Amino acid sequence: MLNDMDFIKTCDVPGPTKEAIRAIILYKSAVTSDDNVVDVGCGTGGITCEFAQRAKKVTSIDTNPEAISVTKQNLEKFNLGDNVELINDSGSNALKNIDNIDIAVVGGSGRELEDILEIIDSKLNSKGRIIITAILVDTKIEAINKLKKLNYNPKIMEINISKGRVLDRGVMMISENPIAVISASKR
Ligand SMILES: C[S@@+](CC[C@H](N)C(=O)[O-])C[C@H]1O[C@@H](n2cnc3c(N)ncnc32)[C@H](O)[C@@H]1O
């Protein structure tokens, strides 16, 4: 796993999905070197960089041109990127031109989540996996409801991580923002 502190960040692209969450996403995705992955809302490239080391191909999409630039810089920093395509567009537009998806990770979707899930469903290979990370309560509900409508059996876990900072007089636990990981597999 890559270290959170090693990622390049900017004010507008504030940092990767945290390491422990990336580890859970990788585990839930059961990624192999045969898998084609899409990362919708690639942000800093936290998810993209992890999958680039493990999958056949990663297609990373973000509406924000600065996010695409930061993801590119992080791929270069970690000597990755030969198997990564970066697309500066909205998820719903970009996904229309992508087929043969084994794993779809949605880490940002704005108001497009339902459309994005519908397109992913139409392009997802049998036994394909969808993983959504959500901070807003509304996004969690929207994701679960849409996946149910699309005939998936979604699972959700809410993750609260605290990391210890070792001080001279003891260890102080510092909590990270809670985040939900919603996952579903195509039957
Ligand atoms: C929380 S960040 C994702 C962080 C990323 N997983 C990482 O590890 O660096 C969410 C990103 O989703 C992007 N985004 C929001 N709505 C989008 C959409 N409809 N299509 C594509 N990207 C979108 C935002 O620009 C933002 O960069």
In the predicted model, is pLDDT for residue 187 greater than 90? no
81 lines ligand 1 (CB under 6 A): no
Per-residue 3-state assignment (H helix, E strand, C coil) for the chain: CCCHHHCCCCCCCCCCCCHHHHHHHHHHHCCCCCCEEEEECCCCCHHHHHHHCCCCEEEEEECCHHHHHHHHHHHHHCCCCCCEEEEECCHHHHHHHCCCEEEEEECCCCCCHHHHHHHHHHHEEEEEEEEEEECCHHHHHHHHHHHHHCCCCCEEEEECCEEEEEECCEEEEEECCCEEEEEEECC
* pLDDT-based confidence at residue 50 (cuts at 50, 70, 90): very high
pLDDT for position 90: 98
CA-closest candidate to residue 179, choices 147, 132, 112, 143: 132
Tens digit of pLDDT for each residue in 149-163?
999 999 999 999 999
Angle between helices 137-149 and 113-123 (to 10 degrees): 40
Please report, rounded to a whole number, the percentage of residues in the chain having pLDDT higher than 90: 96
In total, the chain counts a number of residues equal to: 187
In the predicted model, is pLDDT for residue 59 greater than 90? yes
Mean pLDDT confidence for 4-9:
96
Identify which of 64, 66, 116, 181 to mutate to test ligand 1's pocket (most ligand atoms within 8 A of the CB): 64
110 lines ligand 1 (CB under 6 A): yes
Tens digit of pLDDT for each residue in 10-34?
989 989 999 999 999 999 999 999 9
Lookup: tokens for 176: 């990270």
Architecture of domain 4-185: 3-Layer(aba) Sandwich (3.40)
Mean pLDDT confidence for 127-143:
97
Token look-up 């998820």 returns 91
Domain segments of the chain as ranges: 4-185
Protein residue closest via CA to atom 17 of ligand 1? 109
pLDDT for position 14: 84
Distance of CA 33 to the CA centre of its chain: 18
Give me ligand 1 centre to Cα 164, in Å.
28
**CB within 8 Å of 116: residues ≥ 6 apart:** 40, 91, 92, 95, 106, 109
44 lines ligand 1 (CB under 6 A): yes
Average pLDDT, the chain: 97
Tens digit of pLDDT for each residue in 63-99?
999 999 999 999 999 999 999 999 999 999 999 999 9
- Report ipTM (2 d.p.): 0.99
21 lines ligand 1 (CB under 6 A): no
Please report, rounded to a whole number, the percentage of residues in the chain having pLDDT higher than 70: 100
pTM of the model: 0.97
